[in-house]
Amino acid sequence: MKKLFALLLLANAALFGYVYLDRMNGAAQAAADRYQPVNASLIKVLSAQQVARLGPAKVAQLTLACAEWGAFNDVERARAMKLLEPLALGKTLTSRRTEATASHWVYIAPKSSKPSAERALAELRKLNVSDVALVSEAGPWNNAISLGVYRSKEAADARLAELKARGVKTATYREREQTVALTALVVREPTQATLAQLEELKAQIPGSSVSTGACPEAKP
């Protein structure tokens, strides 16, 4: 009788253990299914134009995103900020520093000496030309005057035309790969109207583009 009781007790314990493990495995599988990674093939990155065409209702359903306009050198950034003033973006507008390789260079050919180059810089300032720098490096470009480095030929041509209009007759262009510091302007959670306005404004700064995506981490 005692042996029978012991066998029944073991059988019940085994059954309880089986049921418990089965439930635990089921819960674990359900959790795993719930956190399955999103199918990457179904993800689509939208351009600013595509987002603008979605309409207010659809845009409201999008996850938190930012619009980014740029990237700009210092002169272009100042121009872009001026263009954005009527939008009154306030604290939703921030900036992001970045570096890029650019190969379109606008410059004045090297001067015979540093004093000569400095006189040329002074003349440029009298013409209200900004974003200029004296090249000080070993090699054939020493004492040249850099008037801007751009990622697109379109932007370089626009700069060259602006300089010619100001009377800088010696400005010229060539391809020369350089690393430059740039700034992108970031608008947090842009409205449909803001996206449409950014698309219109980018035409006023040749070579710039507007994109949307996850917001970059805020910088102190």
**Tokens found for residue 138:** 């070993």
Question: Which secondary structure element, helix H or strand E, spans residue 100, and what is its range?
Answer: strand 93-108
Residue 155's pLDDT band (boundaries 50, 70, 90)?
Answer: confident
- 52 and 32 in a common domain: no
| pLDDT of res. 59 | 57
| pLDDT of res. 102 | 84
- 133 and 29 in a common domain: no
Examine residue 174 and state whether it is found in any structural domain, yes or no: yes
**Tokens found for residue 83:** 């263009």
Return all residues near 214 (Cβ < 8 A) that are at least 6 apart.
64, 65, 66
Q: How many domains does the chain have?
A: 2
Examine residue 74 and state whether it is found in any structural domain, yes or no: yes
| pLDDT of res. 89 | 94
Residue among 70, 139, 79, 76 at smallest CA distance from 99 = 70
User: What would the pLDDT profile of 28-59 be if each residue is shown by its tens digit?
Assistant: 444 444 434 434 443 455 666 666 666 655 55
What single-letter DSSP state applies at residue 217? P
Bin 88: left if φ > 0, else alpha if -120 < ψ < 50, else beta. Answer: left
| pLDDT of res. 101 | 85
Residue 197's pLDDT band (boundaries 50, 70, 90)?
Answer: very high
Residue that the structure tokens 């740039």 belong to:
182
Mean pLDDT, residues 191-215 taken together? 91
| pLDDT of res. 62 | 52
- What length is written for the chain? 220
Contact 109, 168 (CB under 8 A): no
User: Between 192-201 and 74-84, two packed helices, what is the crossing angle to 10 degrees?
Assistant: 130
pLDDT over 80 (residue 216): no
User: What would the pLDDT profile of 50-97 be if each residue is shown by its tens digit?
Assistant: 666 666 555 555 555 899 998 888 888 999 999 999 999 999 999 999
| pLDDT of res. 12 | 45
pLDDT over 70 (residue 24): no
Cis peptide bond N-terminal to 102, omega within 30: no
Residue 70: burial class (beta carbons within 10 Å; 0-12, 13-18, 19+): buried
Strand ranges (E), 19-92 = 66-72
Question: Which secondary structure element, helix H or strand E, spans residue 162, and what is its range?
Answer: helix 153-165
**Tokens found for residue 112:** 């015979």
Q: Which residue has the higher pLDDT, 18 or 123?
A: 123
| pLDDT of res. 152 | 86
Examine residue 220 and state whether it is found in any structural domain, yes or no: no
Structural domain boundaries, residue 171: 48-213
Examine residue 93 and state whether it is found in any structural domain, yes or no: yes
pTM: 0.53
Examine residue 125 and state whether it is found in any structural domain, yes or no: yes
Return all residues near 167 (Cβ < 8 A) that are at least 6 apart.
127
Examine residue 42 and state whether it is found in any structural domain, yes or no: no
- 120 and 149 in a common domain: yes
User: What would the pLDDT profile of 123-146 be if each residue is shown by its tens digit?
Assistant: 999 998 888 889 998 889 999 999
pLDDT over 70 (residue 4): no
* Mean of all residue pLDDT scores within the chain: 78
Contact 146, 181 (CB under 8 A): no
- 101 and 187 in a common domain: yes
| pLDDT of res. 11 | 43
- 178 and 202 in a common domain: yes
Mean pLDDT, residues 102-124 taken together? 93
| pLDDT of res. 219 | 46
Residue among 85, 75, 51, 220 at smallest CA distance from 155 = 75
